[in-house]
């Protein structure tokens, strides 16, 4: 029984390692496949030029296939990591995760003269893939229209569609614009699981994103007896501009913790604080205590006063 449990634990650990590897940018592109609707190039008036896109996709190591199923859509399918099935055989299965069409195209003339036809296509896509709300509409051939709308009129039509129907609109004038966009979208779709995982690390209990958490990089452990506080104070100071390790040690020697610095700021005038801090001498162990030793200087003193003493949230360091 113990042997069976150990074997399942090993399989689970292997599954987790493979899962993380599949999420990494670069590797994740191997498990994505792009399906190109058979009518895409006909719709944009570039029939016969498919090889321009195919060569670009091959160079970017993006797998692709033509499909009559999707018409004028681009559609991505990503194979998820292997999934451990908890049963007596400890089988490992692979599942296919489908993404909705992130893009479909239309001609500029249809967009300007019959926008309701686009709305109809959008609603049809929403009903087919209700769990995937993100759709991008590519509009081709605007530069080829004889009677072009004004910039304001065009912006109004685009804004109305984007807001009312929760879509993104891209204006594409050349075939190269379309090709570059397909490569860009393919890489972005492949990295969605990785980006979600990274974002979840910074999700705080209140629901807001705490990017200042900085994951666990260079963290300082503080014990219950406050051991480590001095090291944390030193690390904080060294992240400030102009503050080297020697400068931080000089500040800590005079102000052993943030409260000591704040108390001194509160009881001193601005001039007194700047004059006092600017004259603090930086201790250089290699040179000893020399009369001409480097001082902190007025610039750094002003920065410290601004950072710890200012009540204006709009003030710059």
Residues of the chain with CATH 1.10.150.670: 229-309
Quick one: tokens of 301? 């003193």
- State whether CATH 3.40.50.10130 applies to domain 8-80+97-203: yes
- State whether CATH 3.30.70.3000 applies to domain 229-309: no
Query: Which pLDDT score, from 0 to 100, does residue 213 have?
Result: 47
Compute CA distances 229 → 218, 237, 255, 257, 307, whole Å: 14, 12, 13, 8, 20
Q: Which sign does the torsion angle of CA 254, 257, 263, 269 carry?
A: positive
Query: Which pLDDT score, from 0 to 100, does residue 205 have?
Result: 42
Q: What backbone torsions phi and psi does residue 227 show, to the nearest 5 degrees?
A: -65, 130
pTM: 0.55
Residues of the chain with CATH 3.40.50.10130: 8-80+97-203
User: Rounded to whole angstroms, how far apart are CA atoms 110 and 118?
Assistant: 8
Query: Which pLDDT score, from 0 to 100, does residue 276 have?
Result: 92
Strands 96-107 and 73-79: antiparallel
**Positions in the chain whose pLDDT score sits under 70:** 1-5, 43-45, 80-114, 132-133, 144-147, 201-218, 224, 284-293, 317
């Amino acid at each position: 029984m113990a042997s069976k449990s150990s074997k399942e634990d090993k399989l689970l650990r292997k599954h987790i390692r493979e899962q993380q590897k599949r999420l990494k940018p670069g590797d994740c592109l191997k498990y994505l496949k792009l399906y190109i609707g058979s009518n895409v190039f006909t719709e944009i008036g570039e029939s016969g030029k498919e090889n321009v896109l195919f060569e670009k996709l091959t160079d970017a190591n993006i797998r692709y296939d033509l499909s009559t199923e999707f018409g004028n859509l681009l559609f991505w399918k990503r194979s998820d990591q292997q999934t451990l099935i908890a049963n007596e055989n400890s089988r490992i299965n692979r599942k296919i995760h489908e993404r909705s069409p992130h893009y479909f195209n239309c001609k500029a003339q249809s967009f300007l003269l019959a926008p309701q036809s686009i709305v109809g296509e959008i609603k049809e896509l929403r009903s087919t893939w209700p769990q995937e709300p993100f759709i991008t509409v590519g509009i081709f051939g605007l530069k080829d229209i004889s009677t072009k709308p004004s910039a304001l009129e065009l912006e109004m039509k685009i804004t109305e569609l984007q807001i009312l129907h929760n879509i993104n609109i891209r204006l594409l004038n050349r075939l190269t614009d379309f090709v570059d966009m397909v490569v860009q979208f393919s890489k972005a779709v492949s990295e969605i699981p990785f980006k979600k995982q990274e974002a979840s690390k910074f999700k705080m209990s209140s629901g807001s994103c705490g990017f200042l958490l900085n994951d666990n990089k260079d963290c300082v452990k503080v014990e219950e007896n406050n051991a480590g506080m001095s090291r944390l104070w030193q690390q904080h100071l060294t992240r400030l501009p102009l503050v080297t390790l020697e400068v931080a040690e000089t500040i800590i020697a005079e102000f052993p913790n943030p409260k000591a610095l704040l108390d001194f700021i509160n009881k001193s005038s601005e001039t007194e604080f700047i004059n006092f801090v600017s004259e603090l001498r930086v201790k250089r162990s290699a040179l000893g205590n020399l009369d001409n030793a480097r001082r902190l200087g007025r610039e750094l003193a002003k920065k410290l006063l601004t950072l710890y003493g200012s009540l204006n949230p709009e003030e710059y360091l």
